[in-house]
Amino acid sequence: SQTIHQWPATLVQPVGSPLSLECTVEGTSNPNLYWYRQAAGRGLQLLFYSVGIGQISSEVPQNLSASRPQDRQFILSSKKLLLSDSGFYLCAWSLRGNYGYTFGSGTRLTVV
Amino acid sequence: AQSVTQLGSHVSVSEGALVLLRCNYSSSVPPYLFWYVQYPNQGLQLLLKYTTGATLVKGINGFEAEFKKSETSFHLTKPSAHMSDAAEYFCAVSEDIGGGSYIPTFGRGTSLIVHP
């Protein structure tokens, strides 16, 4: 069966520090991968999606970047965090076609 | 671009009462529609989905939703609320970006509160 792993679960980082959040999928190949951010009361904002290795599409200009170095690995990064980067970050995957999306358990990022 | 509107950021019901969470969408093509549930500090879990075929879709935990094209709606219902249903609910519509790939657009969510 397919599983998605996202870590860490919680993270407290100072302003100006770098960020690296990792997401991996097991049990499938060539998935579509997504990074979302969820701010309190604001729903889910799509940050990046990827349809293949090295293929990254950005939905919102911001202080973050994403990379897909391997088929089932999706990384969210920042060189210098801002206070406004705080939020709940969710990774998700889907297969080709429209069968729904499976989410990771999320990372709660607090920038102080 | 597609969009989703969830009416009411909070819905409060008594245990045993009917649950109705409203979702309206806009789409220029036949939509694929989803409902997800999120418990505190967790990821989203798929409740149900509509792709094609029967417009009344049954999901997990006793929830169901009906696709009404004429009303561009996909409301979520459950006949009798349980305390364990208290959570955040998200409606989503998928957009075709080509190559068999889709991107979901989510509504802002509705927080369901269940009173004893």
A-B Cβ pairs (cutoff 8 Å, strict): 60
Q: Give B46: exposed, middle or buried? Use CB within 10 Å, 0-12, 13-18, 19+.
A: middle
Residues 63-102 of B with CB under 8 A from A: 90, 92, 94, 96-97, 99-102
3-class SS letters over chain A = CCEEEEECCEEEECCCCCEEEEEEEECCCCCEEEEEEECCCCCEEEEEEEEECCEEEECCCCCCEEEEEECCEEEEEECCCCHHHCEEEEEEEECCCCCCCEECCCEEEEEC
**Which residues from B are below 8 Å from A3, CB to CB?**
none
Q: What is the pLDDT of residues A32-76, one digit of tens each?
A: 999 999 987 678 889 999 999 999 998 876 789 999 999 999 999
Residues 30-69 of B with CB under 8 A from A: 32, 34, 36, 41-46, 49, 51
| Sign of the Cα pseudo-torsion (B4, B81, A98, B39, in order) | positive
Residue B50 and residue B83 in contact, taking contact as beta carbons nearer than 8 Å: no
Identify the DSSP state of B63. Answer: -
**Which residues from B are below 8 Å from A30, CB to CB?**
none
Contact (CB<8Å) B34/A101: yes
Residue A48 and residue A66 in contact, taking contact as beta carbons nearer than 8 Å: yes
Contact (CB<8Å) A43/B46: no
Q: What is the pLDDT of residues B96-109, one digit of tens each?
A: 778 777 888 899 99
3-state secondary structure of B8: coil
**Which residues from A are below 8 Å from B41, CB to CB?**
88, 106, 108
Contact (CB<8Å) B9/A41: yes
pLDDT at position A61: 66
Helix (H) and strand (E) counts in chain B = 0, 11
Q: What is the pLDDT of residues B15-65, one digit of tens each?
A: 999 999 999 998 877 788 999 999 988 889 999 999 888 899 999 999 999
pLDDT at position B95: 80
Q: Answer whether B107 touches A (CB < 8 Å).
A: yes
Q: How far apart are CA B111 and CA B21, in angstroms?
A: 9
**Which residues from A are below 8 Å from B109, CB to CB?**
43-44
